[in-house]
Structure 1
Amino acid sequence: MLLKQIFLGFTGLCAGGIIAAGVYAFLAIIGVFPRLMGRTGTRRHLILYETVIVAGGVLGNVSDLYEIPIPLGSFFGPLFLGIFGLTAGIFVGCLVMSLAETLKALPVISRRIHLAVGLQYMIISIAAGKLIGCLTYFWNGFGAQK
C-alpha cells in the first residue's frame, strides 16, 4: 500500500511538473513576459521576474495541492481576495491580448465584420461582458462548492 502511494505521488508530481512546464513555455513563446517587461521598462530585473514566476507557480501548486488555509481575518481576507482577483484578471487579460497579438486575430476580426473605427470599444465591451458574467456567476453562488 505504501509503495502504491509513493508511486502515485511521484506520478502525480511528474505529471503536474510537465503540465506546468508546458504552460510556462507557452506563455514564454507567445511573449507575455518579455512584452510586460518591455511595457513597464523593467528589463533590468530579469532575474527577479524569473524567480517570482517560478516561486508563484510552485507556491500556487503547493497551496492548491495541500489546501493550506491563509488566516487573514474578516477584514484582510476579502481585501486579499479582491487584490488577488484583480491581479489574476489583469494577468489573464494580458495573456489574452498577447495571444491575440501573436495570432493577429484583431485585424482579422475587424476585416470580417467590416469595422473601420471603434475596435477598442468592441474589445472593452467584450471585457465588460466577461466581467458582468463572472460577477453574476459568483454573486448567485454558482461557483460555490457544495
Structure 2
Amino acid sequence: MYGKLALCFIGLSSGGVIAAGIFAFLAIIGVFPRLIGVTHTRCHVILYETLLILGGTAGNLMDLFHLPLAGAGTAFLALWGLALGVFVGCLVMSLAETLKALPVLGRRLGLAVGIQYLILSIAAGKFVGAMVYFSRGFGGN
C-alpha cells in the first residue's frame, strides 16, 4: 500500500520537476518575451501566463488520461495542428537566435545572402515530411 503511494508521489513529483524545467527552458531562451515584444502586447502578460499554465495543464491531462482528439472534427484538428506548428516554429527560431547558429551556418556554407531561403526550405521540408507521414497513416494508432 505504502509502496504504491510512494511511487505515485515520486512519479507526480518527477513530472512536476520536468514540466517546470521545460517551461523554464522556454522562458530562458526567450520564446515568450520575444513573442510579447513582436506583438506589442506587453499589457497582457498576466493573460500569457494564465494561458501557458492552462495549456501545460491541458497537455499533461490529455497525455495522462489518453484523451483522444479523433472525434473533435477536421476543422478543430486543423486549427490544433496549425497552433502547434506555429509554436514549434517560434521555439526553433528562438533557439536558433539564442544560439546564434544561423550566422555560423551561413558562413560555413558560404552564403552571403539567402539565409532566409535556407530556413524556408528547411521548414518546407519538415512540412512535406509531416504531410507524407500522416497521409499514409503512419501516425495512426
Common fold by TM > 0.5? yes
- State the match for 2:53 in structure 1: 54
Residue 83 (1) aligns with residue 69 (2): no
- State the match for 2:125 in structure 1: 129
Unaligned regions of 5+ residues in structure 1, if any?
Answer: none
The counterpart of 1:140, out of the listed 129, 132, 136, is 136
Extract structure 1 runs of 4+ deviating beyond 6 A. none
For residues 65-118 of structure 1, the C-alpha deviation after alignment (integer angstroms, 9 at most, x for no partner) is 0123568x5xx5211111011000000000000000001011101100000111
- State the match for 2:111 in structure 1: 115
Distance in 2, Cα, partners of 1:79 & 1:18? 34
Residue aligned with 1:20, SS: helix
For residues 12-60 of structure 1, the C-alpha deviation after alignment (integer angstroms, 9 at most, x for no partner) is 1111111100100000000000000000111111111111101111121
Distance in 2, Cα, partners of 1:48 & 1:123? 31
2:69, 2:77 within 8 Å by CA — same for their partners in 1? no
Question: What amino acid is the match of 1:112?
Answer: R
Superposed displacement of residue 7, structure 1: 2.0
Question: What amino acid is the match of 2:34?
Answer: R
Question: Which TM-score applies when normalising by structure 2?
Answer: 0.93
Distance in 2, Cα, partners of 1:58 & 1:3? 27
Question: What amino acid is the match of 1:113?
Answer: L
RMSD over aligned Cα atoms: 1.5
Residue aligned with 2:111, SS: coil
Shift in alpha-carbon separation, 1:42–1:3, aligned structure 2, 3 A: same
Superposed displacement of residue 4, structure 1: 2.9
Distance in 2, Cα, partners of 1:7 & 1:66? 20
Distance in 2, Cα, partners of 1:88 & 1:119? 24
Aligned positions, number: 141
Distance in 1, Cα, partners of 2:140 & 2:68? 17
Question: Which TM-score applies when normalising by structure 1?
Answer: 0.90
Distance in 2, Cα, partners of 1:70 & 1:144? 12
